[in-house]
Structure 1
Amino acid sequence: MSRRVIARAYGGPEVLAVVDAETAGPAPGEVVLEVRAIGVNPFDYKLYSGSFGADPAALPLGLGSEAAGVVAQVGDGATGPMGPLSVGDEVIAYPLSEAYADRLVVSGDSVVPKPASLPWNEAAGLLAVGATAVDTLDTGNVGSGDLLLVHAAAGGVGSMVVQLARMRGATVIGTARPENHDYVRSLGATPVSYGDGLGDRIRVLAPDGVDVVIDTAGGDEAIDVSVDLVRDRSRLVTTVPGRRHAQFGFRIVGAMGPDGMEPRKRARTALVDLAGAGDIRVRVARTYALSDAATAHTDLRKPHAAGKFILLP
């Protein structure tokens, strides 16, 4: 028996409930995880809000794309991207579809080893944002000498984009709220405040415009400034596509992009190595009990300190 969080209907966080569920043993190629920590991401609440459709037949919905835990059982032939899996292995699992649980049955292909140096909370919050960041950087072909503008640079994906872009040799300007400027600066970017005059403030730093834009914020301000500043519109990239993004030719990454999840899967092992070595950091803003998932989602929709939200079973 396990505890898991489901969405009973489409709506706000009030539709979330904790239920008991039977956990089957692993089939061939699968493992059972005793979960230690779970990453919370905006995609999770968008799923049950109806942003991607509201098919009643899909209810109840399981939530969560990433978790970290210990392998408790191993099915025949279960192998991860880095080799065979064994009981007792400390691992990170991504991508998943129902990670909000204290016990999971997952495909071995979704499991990579957790470095001993990486705390559980940080491990659980690494791969969804990290792999998305790699996807955006590859899509925008970001490299040495590029001047990159990142919208929402203090957010989960944005902060990882900044760190990885700096490792590639890019110079980064990041939009953020004033209270997050020190954090953005610590990651290696020059922070700029949102709001009226944003384009003018960036022009002071980039009088000739920027080479690449990665928009992890969405909204008209980010779109308008990006289109005005980028020198080559083929290097406009977004993780939050909308009608106006399509109008101006932003390239879409992730599950909604042309290559689906494959670029993110390929990024996992390198990200784990970097995090284990301390070369990239996952900032954890808050932790919540699994039973408080609705509270976590309510808080995630409000302005909050920079960093990931983590659920603890």
Structure 2
Amino acid sequence: MIRAMWHGLMAAILLTPPSLAAGDYPERPVRLVVPFVAGGSIDRVARLLAERIQAKLGQPVVVDNRTGATGNIGTQAVVAAPPDGHTLLMQTSALAISPWLSRLPFDVEADLVPVTRIARTPYALVVRKSLPVESFEAFVAYAAAHPGKLTCSSYGVGSPPHLALELIKQAASVEIVHAPYRSFSQAVPSLVSGQLDCSIDTPTNVQPQVETGVVRVLGVTAAEPFFLFPSATPMASRYPGTEVEGFQLLFAAKGTPPAIVGRVRAEFARVLRDPEVEKQLRAMGFVPVGDDPRSAAEGFEKDYARFGRLIKERGIRAE
């Protein structure tokens, strides 16, 4: 039922030219809600884009850091806002995971409309330098030969890197212990001491330690090479279906007129094609996307369904 509703809306958006039926939108400043603290990666991306989008829309675009409850407070603010396109949400692909781990005050698929995926990045698998493996294939072979002896960190139970680890464990039939840490920086001393054997985190988080030789990067959680670590194995090319990419997505409230959704997406897509914007996004470790609402919705639905299955199959529960 929900999928049919989303697809019906997507068809309406794609069939309506952005110049039609949007009226005088926007009639006042647009609020871009970021449900995370200022200074983080999603906040920096939002501010980079807001500065340029407001020139396209002819109205100020104000970034509103509405934090709390792991992003739920800001998301709820958009769900409760008038569905007129003047309140938008920048969220991450973790929104496809959180409904499976805790009860939310909103229904992701019923209350929000995907506008576009802003940017994407895979996650990187790194190992301590003393671990006797030099490739992803050797890592899998070592894990198979030493079941339950390797310990790998992520930045939390149910996080995208944790699910990436579970997908690899499932696909390769290996047993690796998961150890949640609050951040990669907190995991580094354990990697140096040998208490941890590996970690999965964002490429920009691990890059300084890779460059100084503290850890080695063996793979990325994608099907294709990633520009920051071009020699790292795309792990999903060895085990299809295990790709996990972090997306930054733009949402509007359910009921937002399709023409307005189309206009917003068109303007964001134009900005994301700007060479300077692409350069700055890549410096943050992201690849710009800017896809249409149907593609964004289908990608989100796919992740929502497969992450839900994985969480149930592996018995993952929030801490």
TM-score scaled to structure 1, two decimals?
0.29
Considering Cα pairs closer than 8 Å and 6+ residues apart, tell me whether 1 or 2 has the greater RCO.
2
More strand by share: 1
More helix by share: 2
